[in-house]
Amino acid sequence: MKRNLLIALWFTLVTTVMFGVVYPLAITGLAQVLFPSQANGQLIKKNGKIVGSRIIGQSFTEPGYFHSRPSSAGTGYDPTSSSGSNLGPTNKLLIERVRSDVQKLQAENPNVPIPVDLVTASGSGLDPDISPAAAEFQIPRVAHSRGMKEDEVRIVVRKHTKDRDLEFLGEPRVHVLELNLELDTLHPL
């Protein structure tokens, strides 16, 4: 008992140093050398300022931008409090929230059913993507606000649509922040 207690004390200390300090620091060093962009969050710079991360979503509310999904992270897309809504399927708060979003969207693009991802909150609250259907749904509004032809916008959307990984893993998706940044460059508001 006493012998094992002594071992337990030393063993905890030694392995904590090995696996809790040396290992993560070594991985940090390797990652910074091998994959510097990925290891630091794939930050996007514009005019010398950091305008976002390639894989973290942002809130867009102006009609000229493609909108991201609803978010429950803080006040919306707050990476210091990532979270889903955690609303259950029969919770009135969820059903009311979706109904109100559906009404707004129906007004801007009537007679088209609303792709479900556009009115549901993601698990992280930071989803950088929308489905191609949700992008297609927004093309008329964005084109109108920017004075562009729908087909012109559609070409930019295609460019930022990513197919499944290796053609079969995951789902096709459209990257909202990069799409909006490119629209700003091509045809500023």
By CB under 8 A, the residues from 44 to 83 that bind other proteins are 46, 49-62, 65, 69, 73, 75-83
Q: In this chain, which of 109, 120, 154, 187 binds other proteins, going by CB under 8 A?
A: 120
Structure tokens at 90: 């029969």
Q: At 160, is the secondary structure helix, strand, or coil?
A: coil
Enumerate the β-bridge partners of residue 175.
129
What is the token pair recorded at 5?
Answer: 């207690």
Name the CA dihedral angle for 154, 189, 66, 45, rounded to a multiple of 10 degrees: 100
- By the rule CB under 8 A, 43 interacts with other proteins: yes
CA–CA gap between residue 189 and residue 159 (Å, rounded): 20
Q: Pick the binder of other proteins from 108, 116, 149, 150 (CB under 8 A).
A: 116
Min separation Cβ 17 and other proteins, Å: 8
| CA atoms of 76 and 181, how far apart (whole Å) | 19
**Residue 109 in the binding site for other proteins (CB under 8 A):** no
Residue whose CB is less far from other proteins, 23 or 149: 23
Nearer to other proteins, 2 or 147 (CB): 2
- For residues 81 and 83, give the distance between their C-alpha atoms in angstroms, rounded to a whole number: 6
Cβ proximity to other proteins, 8 vs 149, nearer residue: 8
User: Segment 1-30, which members bind other proteins (CB under 8 A)?
Assistant: 1, 3-16, 18-21, 23-24, 26-28, 30
The one among 39, 109, 140, 187 contacting other proteins by CB under 8 A: 39
Q: Encoding tokens for residue 66?
A: 């493609």
User: Does residue 95 touch other proteins according to CB under 8 A?
Assistant: yes
Largest CA distance in the chain: 80
Q: Is there binding between residue 102 and other proteins (CB under 8 A)?
A: yes
DSSP state of 18: I
The answer to whether residue 40 forms part of the interface with other proteins (CB under 8 A) is: yes
Which residues within the stretch 145-184 sit at the binding site for other proteins (CB under 8 A)? Answer: 164-166, 168-173, 180-181, 184
Cα angle for residues 84, 177, 41 (degrees, 5° grid)? 75
